[in-house]
Structure 1
Amino acid sequence: MSTPFIRNHQYNLIKRQAEFVRKTVQSAADRRVLETVRYSAATNIVEAFTDLTENQQQMLEQISSLETTDDFQRYMKALEPYLELYPPITLKQIQKLFPKNKKMKMPDLTSIDFRYVTYLSWVDIATNKLFVVYPFEGQFIGIEGRITPTHKKGYCLFCNRHQELAFFTVKTKNALPDNYSAIGQYVCMENQGCNHSITNTESLEKFILSVRK
């Protein structure tokens, strides 16, 4: 039985590195350039993990020997059974994260493939609010804020891809009673694409922890 060890953002990084190697295989005339790219990709992938078994590392490092498009497709397909699912969560648990929003729109959990989710998010169009739920150190953190489309492209804070953005503003409570400030960042309008593109959780976690309740 396969033991999952690859988180969604790590899988996205592997996918990006594999695509870079595949394109280099097809275009590089200098074999030394290709070998350098192969080595760099394998190193970047392994370094994205903190605790790999020998078998897991060998599995990931197979990227160094791939040649054809079919090889790369089989490589990515073979990794799918090792994807860690987003932790199980219920609508009741989500509601408890946002106790002041009794009538908020809830996500359709049955339509989500949780293998490819780093953070859960959805927009309540009626209130122009974006809700984000992120698993961190064994618990869920929920944040909410105003979402304002910019109708412009830029780089998303979470996934760093060039995409149409929205300005996400979250109110945070200061040390003084009844004293609030707002922290805003530009994020993707389309969260599924963001989840399929994120390769590092550092910026996402830093933002969520800075505005958590």
Structure 2
Amino acid sequence: MHQPFIRNHQYNEIKKRIGQLQNACNTVSDKKVVEAVRNDTEMMINGLFLEATDQQKQLLGNLDQLHGTADFQRYLQALEPYVIEEYAQVTDNQLKKLFPKIKKLKLPDLEAADSRFATYLGWTDIAVNRLFIVYELGGKLVGFEGKYTPTNKKGVCFLCSKHTEVALFTAVTKWKPAGVSSDYYRAIGNYMCVNSEVCNRNITSVDVLETFIHGVLVGP
């Protein structure tokens, strides 16, 4: 029985670095340079899993055996069963409870999504131009929503740092400074991928996402 231990963003980072190593093997003739890239790749992967067991280290290691395209493909495929399905147990009722003020909440198709490759759940309600995001923070599901304005052009997503088709996402913060009037509000926003599935397959760190969530739900 496989015990998953790799989060989606970690798998994406591994995939990116393994791709760079594969490119070096295919295009660089200097063996010392290739080995330097191989060593850097191994150090990066080890750095993602500082508390890995011996079995996990063995699974992630053996990069010296990767040379041809088939080797790299097998390596990544061998890791897939160990990617955590973070949202496999999430239900429609749980999502509804995260957005109690929205009476006609449009829900995502949870059965159609592959929860192994989702750092966050993101879906849109085009009818009202809203984007909904759910993320597990500190072992607890949190959710927030905001205005979703497609730009119909490409830009850099603030979450995954990839150049893709983006939309402006703006969320009103849920906190208020002491002593402000009842009609006070503050919104924060940024450009992110139009397609959350694409974003989830590119994101390699949760730092920016967690900072944004903290800004929306808790405040500076």
Relative to the length of structure 2, the TM-score reads: 0.93
Q: Are positions 1:174 and 2:176 aligned together?
A: yes
Q: Which runs of 5+ in 1 are unaligned?
A: none
Q: Which runs of 5+ in 2 are unaligned?
A: none
Partner residue of 2:148? 147
Q: Aligned to 2:105, what secondary structure does the other structure show?
A: coil
Go from structure 1 to structure 2 and tell me whether the alpha carbon gap of 1:208 and 1:64 turns closer, same or farther (over 3 Å shift). Answer: farther
Greater mean alpha carbon deviation, residues 155-164 or residues 43-52: 43-52
User: Residue 179 of structure 1: CA displacement?
Assistant: 1.2
User: Residue 164 of structure 1: CA displacement?
Assistant: 1.3
User: Residue 65 of structure 1: CA displacement?
Assistant: 2.5
User: Residue 63 of structure 1: CA displacement?
Assistant: 2.5
- Tell me if the contact between 1:42 and 1:64 (Cα under 8 Å) persists in the aligned partners: no
Partner residue of 1:109? 110
Q: Determine which of 172, 179, 195 is the counterpart of 1:190.
A: 195
Alignment partners' CA distance in 2, 1:14 and 1:55 = 17
Q: Percent identity?
A: 45
- Tell me if the contact between 2:65 and 2:71 (Cα under 8 Å) persists in the aligned partners: no
Q: Aligned to 1:22, what secondary structure does the other structure show?
A: helix
Matches within 5 A, 1:1-213: 1-87=1-87, 88-172=89-173, 173-175=175-177, 176=180, 177-212=182-217
| Amino acid in structure 2 at the alignment position of 1:195 | N
Alignment partners' CA distance in 1, 2:51 and 2:200 = 23
Aligned-residue Cα RMSD (Å) equals 1.2
How many corresponding residue pairs?
A: 213
Alignment partners' CA distance in 1, 2:208 and 2:32 = 35
- Tell me if the contact between 1:18 and 1:63 (Cα under 8 Å) persists in the aligned partners: no
Alignment partners' CA distance in 1, 2:19 and 2:163 = 18
- Tell me if the contact between 1:144 and 1:170 (Cα under 8 Å) persists in the aligned partners: yes
Relative to the length of structure 1, the TM-score reads: 0.96
User: Residue 70 of structure 1: CA displacement?
Assistant: 0.6
User: Residue 138 of structure 1: CA displacement?
Assistant: 1.3
User: Residue 77 of structure 1: CA displacement?
Assistant: 0.8
